[in-house]
A and B are shown apart, each in its own frame.
Chain A
């Protein structure tokens, strides 16, 4: 951590990239300021509880990492700091219970599905509930779909081009089961056989980024045991947050016994759009059918895809590969939508402001359709677009592609 702190030359290039600086306009809620606060806390010059409110407001979107010419690994810094500080935090019993509930429910699709269903029926009561419970309820879709079982193996439908392992994900299995269904259909149609290895679990990102380091380590090791990178061309995720989490395994295990295994694993991890983009560039992607009318698709860069994984071009290329689609660039596109993992549950007010801003920016492109590659962004954007009174559909990039293949776009 010391290296990362030293690497910051406090030039301020991160300021315009930071969503909380954009909202609050003060130095403590900027990446540069947070680095100074972390340093002061680590050196014992500032009590943790004084710095905590500002560090808690960081979304972990890593837009500052993209903007930083000095190469400060801010993402690693805030993650390590949260891991270090969480056991030292004084939290109220209620706060602890809430955090632990989130970390238990989110990674367990079946539990999440039940919780979401209860939430759905309790929605009319929302105005009567405390804010802490209202926030997650606001984000629930109007109808929580039925859980779909995961096929362990999906064969290639056309000439076999590859074999991949797939991380099925957690909350999205309950909220948007079609993400996975569409992913499997598109891969299979393009000659890629897909294995969903048994014994896999949550990627661990939510635990890691909220400072629950032991839990994160357990989940990481569970996945290292479940996936065998040598057997696959790639290990795919269709959720930007999870993909970024998987790619982070070597950092999580840095200096620990399984570091080498984590490196081999992470080297195979790709986002679904990266993998399909690779097929497209090789000329191996089946051509989608033209749309029934010209469509403007607003593509939203998920922070964990654009900033954490550096994947920007591939999703756009995939969408443009659909004849009839124009991809619209969203103003302030680099600014986080406010979802940010568990952020919209923990900092509902700021998350809400960012959500409103994002919806306004997206709708300013007058899109026929909104695409993104992350369940968190999806939920947040859908919720705020609806609240803005607009019914424009919000989809995963791969869902758009899937519809185009079926001639339904």
Chain B
């Protein structure tokens, strides 16, 4: 089977391109009438650019709405529903599982203009509209002595709405948790165009919306929890001849009681791709590199924890370098943030995994995956939030040189490694379309049925981001979906 990501772009029965900006379909015309021309993109040259995220190209949407308020979202949802057109929410489209790429002609609701952000220092809260760029929450909170810890690599670009949709993580997740851990309340528009405000008490429906990738509703506003930043942070980098040794060091450090705030790894290909971009003196020869932050309000404890990690690294055969300044540690973290896009220097496309495995099995898992890559002859790299057991094996490819089927087969074997070791398919990037084909192996049929029941309850017409997360129900015959 050819995975959807690799299949040719679904072709739309393209209406003749127009340059006069006149809506060329009834939905676009209706939206333009109700919302005004500035909030609706209907020319094909405009819609073309709303069919992708950072991993996948999908179908050209029928129309794009750029709402400025929840009321605009409601109007857009109602119009799409009346027209029977699927609705795909979109933030900055930096997602890595195909979540924001429409699979068929849809209405794309792009939240980039919903950027209202208020900080309430006394309550240690921020209220953000969906289109607020992630980093700007911390930037606005910092003068009040607060930060917003979730820090996906894309945090300069990605939006809060997108982060909630994917339940995004980031290096800080090891000690501080992921997006969902910082959401106190959220507002969403349901499939019928009704607005709801959810908190985390009673039924944790907010928790259900978080990570649902726009398949259950459109998140429009959110209340986020802020925390004071730690007073001290120390950074170290350790390099290892071989990838399994890095994983051994991680297991040993955590077993010894260290709770670093960040514990990340990247293999040789990643290090070299990033070094080509930044030229900051990363060890090009190392088989794997660990990047570690320890932090806290008590300097002695922070240093002790760093020493624990250092000792574990040295014992596993690593060489350790301490960052000597804030600038050096910032450069190292910029390096880690740049891994994912820098892989484009190796091959233009990639199959991106997001597996999570128990930390006790990390050395076996990274070695098994490395061996699978070597045997396949395809360029395979590994990096990720190894402290969390969250790994991103990526199969890199150029469709002109490598067989898409071979890429998919390798990705499948990697997913099976995770499942065999008691792991799951996604830590922070969502299932999207990328991991959807593996869901039947990862989730038992009864549980899948329960997930479908939830989907049907909140999206009875199947209009919300169809084709994502859940594999089709055909096969077991139950809950046949229109």
Chain A contacts to B: CB under 8 angstroms: 6-13, 15-16, 25-28, 30, 32-33, 36-37, 40, 46-47, 49-51, 54, 68-72
Contact = CB atoms under 8 A, between A and B. Distances in A.
A47 B338 contact: no
A47 B19 CA distance: 8
A33 B112 CA distance: 14
B348 A69 contact: no
A46 B112 contact: no
Contacts of B350: 9
Contacts of A54: 45
B173 to A, nearest CB: 20
Nearest to A71: B345
B45 A11 contact: no
Nearest to B342: A69
A6 B57 CA distance: 13
A50 B49 CA distance: 13
Nearest to B273: A69
A70 B342 contact: yes
B54 A9 contact: yes
Contact of A9 (B44, B112, B348): B348
B133 interface: yes
Contacts of A11: 54, 94, 154, 340-341, 344
Nearest to A11: B341
A70 B341 contact: yes
Contacts of A16: 133, 156-157
Given A11-B340, A12-B94, A13-B154, A37 B276 contact: no
Interface of B: 17-19, 41, 43-46, 48-50, 52-54, 66, 92-94, 110, 112-113, 133, 154, 156-158, 273-274, 276-277, 338-345, 348-350, 398
A70 B344 contact: yes
Chain B binding site: helix, strand, loop or mixed by DSSP?
mixed
Contact of A69 (B52, B92, B110, B344): B344
A6 B48 contact: no
Nearest to A67: B156
A15 B48 CA distance: 17
Given A10-B54, A51-B45, A15 B66 contact: no
A216 B48 CA distance: 32
A46 B16 CA distance: 10
Contacts of A26: 41, 46, 49, 66, 110, 112
B49 A49 contact: no
A7 B344 contact: yes
Contacts of B92: 12, 15
A49 B112 CA distance: 26
9 contacts: A12-B54, A13-B157, A13-B341, A26-B41, A36-B48, A37-B45, A68-B277, A69-B274, A69-B340
Given A25-B66, A26-B66, A71-B276, A37 B48 contact: yes
Nearest to A21: B112
Contact of A28 (B45, B157, B338, B349): B45
Given A9-B54, A9-B348, A69 B341 contact: yes
A7 B342 CA distance: 10
A12 B53 CA distance: 8
Contacts of A15: 92, 157
A43 to B, nearest CB: 12
Q: Which 10 A-B pairs have CB atoms at the shortest separation, nearest pair first? A: A70-B344, A9-B344, A11-B341, A50-B45, A27-B49, A12-B94, A69-B342, A69-B338, A69-B341, A33-B49
